[in-house]
Homo-oligomer: A and B are copies of this chain.
């Protein structure tokens, strides 16, 4: 079993050391063992970091990701609460995918479109109709740096 420094982990998975410390401080990552003050990680950290990245990429906040991860931890899983959160998040992810799909259509069609103005761009109007009577008061998230 190799024991890796924070720098080694960072290099190996392309995350800044500062981010790893940040995740630890925020309770996403368990505090690892130390060797003369320095953090020493085992291989398991990569799987954790991967889910963290996945969750944050998919639009979870740090707090939500913490809860998401707690759904997988061995200590007292508060299943009901977790399930509710997961269900809500699933909807948000669906909404995100739908909007991304719309944007994708819009982008693709823009390659073939030469409308002088938006007001009468056929493609856009079609997209808009496809989107339906939504006008949904956007609120979901999905960011990373």
Residues of A within 8 A of B (CB): 13-14, 44, 47-48, 50-51, 53-60, 68-69, 71-74, 83, 86, 89-90, 93-94, 96-97, 99-104, 106-108, 110-111, 113, 115-119, 121, 124, 128, 135-145
Residues of B within 8 A of A58 (CB): 99-100, 102-104
Is A72's CB under 8 angstroms from B115's CB?
A: yes
- A135 CB to closest chain B CB (Å) equals 6
Q: Chain A contact residues: over half helix, strand or loop, or mixed?
A: helix
Residues of B within 8 A of A142 (CB): 59, 96, 100, 142-144
Residues of B within 8 A of A83 (CB): 111
